[in-house]
Structure 1
Amino acid sequence: MLRTFLSVDMVGSTLFKARYNGEGSHGWLETFRTFFTNFPLMFAGQIGFEFLDNEDSTPAFDVWKVMGDEVIFVIEPGTAEELTSVLCALLRTMKLFEQRHFQELPLRLKGTAWIADFNGHNIELDIPELSASESARHVDYIGPDIDLGFRLSKYARPASLTLSFDVVDILLGATNADSIALYLVGREPLKGVMFERPYPIIWMRQADEEFDFLPWEIEQCGMMAAAIAAQPTPRAALQGAITDMRHYLRKMHGIIRPAFRIEGHG
């Protein structure tokens, strides 16, 4: 069984909390309460909009964790096309939320998406002590694929999604792949992940939108500066980066990491 994890995190939240440590609606508490309350509702609305013409296939999602300044969703799209649509809905939600709630605040949102395989490589745990009832289970997820996502999120930036190469591999086979643009912006070692071989950092935006980076963000981040000046990375280059990682794992460590396939894909 495959599950897709979607992380949305606030950028600039630590400084914001220190600077706006007031009482009531004028402090940071109300801003965070609004994010954790309203963002999931807005995301649900955008998913509904994305699947308006085919409501029967609308994938359900759950909030898995709320950690500090971050909310993490878990979802099980049934096809590569559904996964593409879900990611587009997430990007739109991030943009709309910023426009509605962060216009006068020094905050932005960044996102990460990755996939975990629960057919042996990772495990799902019921935690009865944290369950509200027998029908409302508290589930936790543990394993190397989960670790990968948390490490990868370090390279997420505003106005885009950072994707694991497993996600990218699936998106490249989607019939609606032309609705997104993908950028290979570098390679970085992820602590404790894949023997710390530099991992491809791939960003996604919607094909009909530009990267909405702010001038000072571009000045401070070489990856952002390179991405805004570049064209989307060709499909062959993306596939080559993915193939290289899988070849390295097989050749150097005897690990076969096949491509993930969700129902209806491939």
Structure 2
Amino acid sequence: MADANKNPEPYQEWVTKFRHFYREFPIFIDSRYARALRSSDDYECYATNGPQVWKTIGDEILFCCRVQSYEHLSACIVAFLGALDDYGKILDQDGKHMDVKGAGWIAAFPAPNVTVEIAGKDPEQTSSSDQIDEEFELQADSSPNNFDFLGQQIDSGFRAAKNAAPDRCSLSIELAWLLAEAAHSEVFPAKFSYHGRHPLKGVIHDRPYPIIAIDAERSLARREVRKHERAVTREGEVECLHLRNFLESFMKDEGIELPLLSRHGIDPEESILPQTYRDFQAAWTSTNQENQSRRSNEVAAVDAEDGTNELPASVNANLDAAVAQAERPSQ
């Protein structure tokens, strides 16, 4: 018999669940990120550079931020993994068999990937120029939801994310390489797993792509099962140094540039900047100089029409002499 005193909900239960997820999960990220930064007093400089919501796609929330060092990257990934664990435990208590899973990738800007403004998002800040600069990129950092990010590394990241599961956070090979290096340097604490190579549509010409993940299993019982399974199959854990070396060799063989990231407080050397960035820098400088020259010529032309530009000194001297000659009394 139905409870006549109970008010019916206007929406199905899944609607409420998703609204809670969209509202609460970013808060979990912020909390975990603040906790990760407390591991060192020096990390206070990253306090305002945590993961931000970029956009939502269906039942997914995409976060992004500009990564500044290995330590900063570690804090971001640790925060994300911690938020997945915290929110997953809440879902476990609910008993509705819902779960969360995550994936991560990294991309280089302003080349070879690009930042694009989304028309109509913020008309007051929309740029009318196609020539981007650091100020443009900083706007994207502070308000990523007003921008889109395009490029091969973005595409491959989305493709690799399809291999994510509740017990494993899938990684692009570039991000996995950085995290393996960070783990080897004891900056990042995580256990990696390797799942062979599988083609990802449109990535490296559909050749087999290494599937790398971070262990995200939160169930102690299932961790125990996995541990015994490894003993039976004689499968060892992936050693971070071997993983880094394997991915480095793979990327060099495929012509994929290694991502550049420095340790905390150390600026990257100019001599080791990626070739795509140096090519972009040269082209940007040339285009910027042409634009400045064109604008100067346009200003000069307008001034000439308005009569606001000054005549050359030699012309002024000749005019003065002519006027003086005309003013002399005739004899």
TM-score, normalised to structure 1, is 0.75
**What is the aligned partner in structure 1 of residue 35 from structure 2?**
49
The letter for the 2-side match of 1:201 is: I
Which has more radius of gyration? 2
* CA gap 1:236/1:99 in 2 versus in 1, 3 angstroms: closer
**Deviation for aligned residue 1:194:** 0.8
Indicate which of 29, 52, 72 corresponds to 1:82: 72
| Distance of aligned partners of 1:56 and 1:117 in 2 relative to their CA distance in 1, 3 Å threshold | closer
Counterparts in 2 of 1:87 and 1:163: CA distance versus 1, 3 Å:
same
Counterpart in 1 of 2:159? 151
- Note the C-alpha offset of 1:239: 2.7
Q: Post-superposition shift, 1:182?
A: 1.1
The answer for unaligned runs of 5 or more in structure 2 is 1-7, 126-138, 269-331
- State the percentage of identical aligned residues: 26
Query: Going by fraction, where is helix more abundant, 1 or 2?
Result: 2
CA contact (8 A) 2:248 2:258 kept: no
Partner of 1:167: 175
| In structure 1, distance between residues paired with 2:74 and 2:209 | 22
Query: Structure 2: how far apart are the matches of 1:205 and 1:227?
Result: 17
Residue 117 of structure 1 and its aligned partner are, at CA, apart by 1.2
Write the deviation string for residues 82-133 of structure 1: whole angstroms up to 9, x where unpaired. Answer: 2122211111111111112443122111111101112321110011312375
Cα RMSD (Å): 3.0
Cα separation, partners in 2 of 1:242 and 1:248, compared to 1, 3 Å:
same
Alignment check: 8 A CA contact 1:159 1:213 kept: no
Q: Which residue identity is paired with 1:160?
A: R
CA displacement at 1:150 relative to structure 2: 0.8
Tell me how far apart the structure 1 counterparts of residues 60 and 238 of structure 2 sit (CA, whole Å): 29
* Correspondence 1:115 to 2:106: yes
Give the structure with the larger strand fraction. Answer: 1
| Alignment coverage as a number of residue pairs | 229
- Which of 6, 14, 21 does residue 35 from structure 1 map onto? 21
What is the match of residue 17 of structure 1? none
Q: In structure 2, what is the equivalent of residue 98 of structure 1?
A: 88
The Cα shift of 1:263 comes to 3.5
Change (3 A) 1:178 1:62: closer
Q: Deviations over 1:41-66 (max 9, x none)?
A: 11001000111243333332221110
Higher relative contact order (CA 8 A, sep 6+): 1
CA contact (8 A) 1:186 1:200 kept: yes
Runs of 4+ in structure 1 off by over 6 angstroms are: 225-229
Q: Which letter maps to 2:147? A: V
Q: CA deviation at 1:160?
A: 2.6
Change (3 A) 1:231 1:24: farther
Moved more, 95-104 or 131-140: 131-140
Which whole-Å CA distance do the structure 2 matches of 1:117 and 1:238 have between them? 21
